[in-house]
Amino acid sequence: MSPVPENEVSTFARARRQQALSRLAGLMRDGRNSELVTLDEVQERLASFDQSYVGFRAIPVDNIVGSVDRSADFDRAFRPRNSREQQRWRQVEMAFPEGDFPPIAVYKAGDVYLVSDGHHRVGIARQRNMASIDAEVTEIHTPYELTADIDVAGLIHMQQALTFLEESGLGESRPEARIEFSRPEGYPELLEVVRVHGYQLMQERQQVLSPSELAADWYDHCYVPAVKSLHEEGLNETFSWKTDGDLFLFIYQRRRKLSALRGGMGYREAALAVKEERDLQPHRPGRRELRDIERRRELSPRRRS
């Protein structure tokens, strides 16, 4: 292919400026992750190995948020991170001025796509505000819905949720259960709660029970009644920045402390105590922390139906 004339109009310089400004903005404030999601991250964190060939189809450009192996060269919007990409970028622009690109190659995970071939074409398509692009699609199967706002933090969140469901046995015994946290650390904390409940239950019954049986008993007789109590006391509205999972852990921990001071206490009594005693209430976060919490809540995983 012949060299691109120097006076040819190109979107490369604009894409580089946007990338530099985006990087600067990221240093000044906490914003959406600007990194491309990688195939390795998806497969490692979500245990996604099964694949199936889909074929050729037009896909939404806005849903292309990942790469197999070029995350060091392009940011999340497929803007070039360095000037080394300029010649190839301009060559592609010259070869396909109307945007009639040959199909790119992608992996599909949920609603998002990760590019294995065609990064420059995607970058140019974004600069030209193209809504869709032709692609050869291979689908990788994950247990969770992945949407276009997914990032590495979201994958970590989903990994923790998946680990909890598998190790607790709840995924097997109550597959319809939906427990969400505003932070991924909530899942290993909850796993310990389920294990303590299981140990105490086997001690009471003097028999060995499977993890799925223990998790089902915990969910039916502990989690569901506790969440019902905190809703009836209006804690989900008073502390609207917390999920039901967050509030359950908070009430669980308060119940243990208050039980040690006052004797046995149920979840309703603990919820009422938190509601009435201001020194027991969760700290209300500041404006910036609230934005961070809301962002994390957006990352809460949704299991595929």
Residues 131 and 199 in one domain: no
Domain end among 118, 140, 162: 140
Q: What are the distances in angstroms from CA 74 to CA 98, 186, 221, 294?
A: 23, 33, 50, 27
- Would 303 be classed as within a structural domain? no
Residue 90 lies in a domain: yes
Same domain, 91 and 161: no
The tally of domains found in the chain comes to 2
**pLDDT at 164 > cutoff 70:** yes
Going from the C-alpha of 194 to that of each of 38, 190, 243, 305, the distances in angstroms are 33, 6, 18, 25
**Residues 54/137, Cβ–Cβ less than 8 Å:** yes
202 falls in which pLDDT band (50, 70, 90)?
very high
> What span, in angstroms and rounded, lies between the C-alpha atoms of 177 and 236?
18
CA distance 133 to 131: 7
- Indicate the pTM of the whole model: 0.76
Same domain, 64 and 136: yes
* Range picked from 93-97, 261-265, 298-302 for highest mean pLDDT: 93-97
* Helix, strand, or coil (residue 96): coil
| Enclosing domain of residue 58 | 12-140
Q: What is the mean pLDDT of residues 210-230?
A: 96
Outline where the chain has alpha helix (H).
12-28, 39-46, 86-95, 119-127, 152-168, 170-173, 186-205, 211-218, 224-232, 235-238, 244-262, 267-276, 287-298
Q: Domain end: 111, 140, 169, which one? A: 140
pLDDT digits (tens, 9 = 90+) for 89-132: 999 999 999 889 999 999 999 899 999 999 999 999 999 999 99
pLDDT per residue as tens digits for the range 4-21 = 444 456 899 899 888 878
257, 297 contact by CB (below 8 A): no
* 160 shares a domain with 117: no
Residue 4 included in any domain: no
Question: What pLDDT sits at residue 31?
Answer: 47
**Together in a domain, 274 and 165:** yes
CA-nearest of 154, 180, 160 to 32 is: 154
Q: What is the mean pLDDT of the chain?
A: 86
Residue 264 vs residue 41, higher pLDDT: 41
Q: What is the CA radius of gyration of the chain?
A: 25
